[in-house]
A = this chain, B = another copy of it.
């Protein structure tokens, strides 16, 4: 597969997710209109859709029906979108720019942004309850549990809390890893594992390989984010650059320097590839995606 092939695959997946979200997000004409307009503002039209792409790529390993993966990937993306809206609020990161647009509370208001996040989370679970994602309903209930655990206090929301507590502190590299495994890692792993679970025929050991891959990719994603945040201009990032360092947030760059951070990202990319090597050609998209995530410039 060539880079151009990967780009068109990614673009197709992004378009499928966008169309699905367009459909499942309530129309802005439906009451309460302002809330629905704000939910659409927060969830549509931007974002790299990395988590759904991970779900699609992992679904190729288990030959999952892409329609199922679309619903699962959209649910994960809604959780991600809600977390961004809440993270940007004044009581959290107090950010005004996200994906090149004013953040939700700037464009609307704080109370609306709070409710947007709350309602996007509910919608994510509604999708997992409503759409057929697995052959067996019991397997789908397992997906509800997995997504909820990845989102909650021992997953993403917990990672945010650890992040808050870390502001102004110097963290060791293991402490940073603990934070990111929760804050971004849990949901990225859920995306890949849910995608794989939309198909059938994988053993638990094979699901564990997908999970190991996603753990490495998730951490690499954050390391690369820190590297890009340290040296890319805001216009390229679509968000305020250098903000983490300015807010006294510990980053991989502050903990180990930019050269070491780049080397760590490269090492994690190797670990991701190793985990999925036994899948052979079925793991090709996952391999490409790991490369895309680590080698991206934005």
> Is A259 an interface position by the 8 A CB rule?
no
Shortest Cβ distance from A207 into chain B, in angstroms? 17
> Is A267 an interface position by the 8 A CB rule?
no
Q: When the two chains form their complex, are residues A122 and B26 in contact, meaning their CB atoms are under 8 A apart?
A: no
Q: When the two chains form their complex, are residues B112 and A164 in contact, meaning their CB atoms are under 8 A apart?
A: yes
* CA of A146 to CA of B144, assembled, Å: 13
Q: When the two chains form their complex, are residues A157 and B111 in contact, meaning their CB atoms are under 8 A apart?
A: no
> Is A231 an interface position by the 8 A CB rule?
no
Give the size range of A's interface with the partner: 35 or more
Q: When the two chains form their complex, are residues A161 and B125 in contact, meaning their CB atoms are under 8 A apart?
A: no
Shortest Cβ distance from A131 into chain B, in angstroms? 9
> Is A218 an interface position by the 8 A CB rule?
no
Q: Which residues of B contact A92 (CB under 8 A)?
A: 111, 114
Shortest Cβ distance from A242 into chain B, in angstroms? 22
Minimal Cβ-Cβ distance residue in B for A144: B129
Q: When the two chains form their complex, are residues B148 and A32 in contact, meaning their CB atoms are under 8 A apart?
A: no
> Is A121 an interface position by the 8 A CB rule?
yes
Q: Which residues of B contact A151 (CB under 8 A)?
A: 118-119, 122
Minimal Cβ-Cβ distance residue in B for A167: B111
Which residues 124-163 in A have Cβ within 8 Å of B in the complex? 125-126, 128-130, 136-138, 140-149, 151-155, 157-158, 160-162
Q: When the two chains form their complex, are residues A34 and B165 in contact, meaning their CB atoms are under 8 A apart?
A: yes
* CA of A64 to CA of B68, assembled, Å: 32
* CA of A141 to CA of B127, assembled, Å: 10
| Known interface pairs A129-B145, A136-B137, A137-B140; 8 further A-B residue pairs with C-beta atoms within 8 A, sorted by A's residue number | A26-B153, A32-B153, A34-B165, A91-B109, A112-B161, A118-B157, A129-B141, A129-B146
What 6 A-B pairs come out closest when comparing CB atoms?
A: A129-B144, A129-B145, A122-B152, A126-B148, A137-B137, A91-B110
